[in-house]
Chains A and B, each alone.
Chain A
């Protein structure tokens, strides 16, 4: 199984400031056949189901605000919230779909 790790475990950011979440996979999730990264990001707010934010490591799902962006290479990935809003308080998970799905442990984002 591909093991996903995330850092930090939690972070608190002032409104309007940048939040950066890191994710690492135990092996590459870059496909050499299509040069795509098999990595997604989800937002999970309390009392709601998770919401897909990003797939292919950097493609925003329809309806996701432009302040959310994803980047990365074969094993190291980043989710950035460029200007944190109050409604962004949530736990954020990375997930690989290169092989049977595995999630990172999550990063809790709060307002400072």
Chain B
């Protein structure tokens, strides 16, 4: 069974940093792209960032580009999102998500498994 377990969320002041982690199990982690998708309370889903199977392709939503950094460690089956210069509008539930293929877009790139999410609150 695919399991994705996020951690690292919490309350942080604007301008500060936070590091989210995701521990994966139950599948061949190094074969698949993994992503972060967030949901602002009461609003819809927003793709934040993704990394391909071998870290050869990485991309970000414009709203976080230059502030967030995604990385993966295939040996540890883990995904990390380093979030710097946090803003109030980054407040959201952050999901770790498995892609159905190794690439970020195109054939097979839908999201087939989701973690439970970790809540990030940016407030003074």
- Chain A residues at the B interface, C-beta cutoff of 8 Å: 1, 31, 34, 36, 38, 40, 42, 44, 49-52, 55, 61, 91, 93, 95, 97-106
CB <8 Å contact, A95 and B115: no
Given contacts A51-B114, A52-B110, 9 further A-B contacts (CB under 8 A): A42-B111, A49-B115, A49-B117, A95-B110, A97-B105, A99-B105, A100-B61, A101-B50, A103-B45
Per DSSP, are chain A's interface residues mostly helix, strand or loop, or mixed?
Answer: loop
Q: Can you list 19 contacts pairing A with B, beta carbon distance less than 8 Å?
A: A31-B106, A38-B107, A38-B109, A49-B114, A49-B116, A50-B95, A52-B111, A61-B112, A93-B44, A95-B110, A97-B106, A100-B50, A100-B59, A100-B105, A101-B50, A102-B47, A103-B44, A103-B45, A106-B45
- Tell me, yes or no, whether B104 is within 8 Å of chain A by CB: yes
User: How many residues from B make CB contacts under 8 Å with A?
Assistant: 25
CB <8 Å contact, B107 and A103: no
Q: Which residues of B contact A42 (CB under 8 A)?
A: 45, 111
- Tell me, yes or no, whether B46 is within 8 Å of chain A by CB: yes
Within 39-95 of B, Cβ neighbours of A (below 8 Å) are at 44-47, 50, 59, 61-62, 95
CB <8 Å contact, B100 and A55: yes
* Measured CA separation A44–B59 after assembly (Å): 25
Q: Which residues of A contact B112 (CB under 8 A)?
A: 52, 61
CB <8 Å contact, B116 and A104: no
CB <8 Å contact, A95 and B104: no
Q: Give, as a whole number of angstroms, the nearest-CB distance from A54 to chain B.
A: 9
Residue of B95, B100, B106, B117 with highest tally of chain A CB at under 10 A: B106
